[in-house]
Amino acid sequence: MKIRGDKSGQVWVETVIYTLIALTIIGLFLSFAKPKVEEIQDKAIVEQSVGMLEDINSVILSIVEGGAGNQRVLELGIKKGALIIESNKDQISFEMDGKYTYTEPGINGAQGPYITVGNVIATTKKIGKINTVTLISNYSNIYNITYQNEDKTKVVSKSPAPHRISILNRGEIGGINQIDLSLI
């Protein structure tokens, strides 16, 4: 005579074992897939940031053509990284840490070789498994870039809401247009 309780217990044990095997397989898949997904997301952000710097450049060109006093407001979405306005160097740059290698990285944490993508200069620095991608729009000897009418550095960090940046042509001084940026 057989007891039905034994088969019922065996079914539960098999169910638990199969569930554990399935969860292990899913965990292994995610451990390999997650870094690749993060790299793809970082690539998209870097490419959008190149477009953002080119948009800023086209707005600057537009207000210079419009003459002194011409002003535009630009909305910039920064999801990762930071936009850096370096007035003392007359440049605007974007810097982001991530898994994506945009250009050939330098050795031992040094900047890699610079490449030009449109009007943007790009370089990558690798420290461990993290890459720091730097995108630069350099305006030295073309425009005098200021932040709130001063030569200072301003870091615009990531934000869930877009930043509003005002770009104003203050006119020529010494043959160089004065371009003033400020957050609104």
Give, for all 184 residues of the chain, the pLDDT tens digit: 455 556 777 888 999 999 999 999 999 998 889 989 999 999 999 999 999 999 999 999 999 999 999 999 999 999 999 999 999 999 999 999 999 999 999 877 788 899 999 889 999 999 888 999 999 999 998 999 999 999 999 999 999 999 999 999 999 988 899 999 999 9
Q: Residue 165: how many CB atoms within 10 A of its CB? A: 22
Secondary structure E strands in the chain:
71-76, 82-86, 91-98, 115-117, 120-127, 130-138, 143-147, 153-157, 163-173, 176-183
The domain ranges of the chain are 4-183
**What global pTM score does this model have?**
0.82
Write the single-letter amino acid at 67. Answer: G
Mode of pairing for the β-strands spanning 91-98 and 130-138: antiparallel
Q: How far apart are CA 125 and CA 108, in angstroms?
A: 9
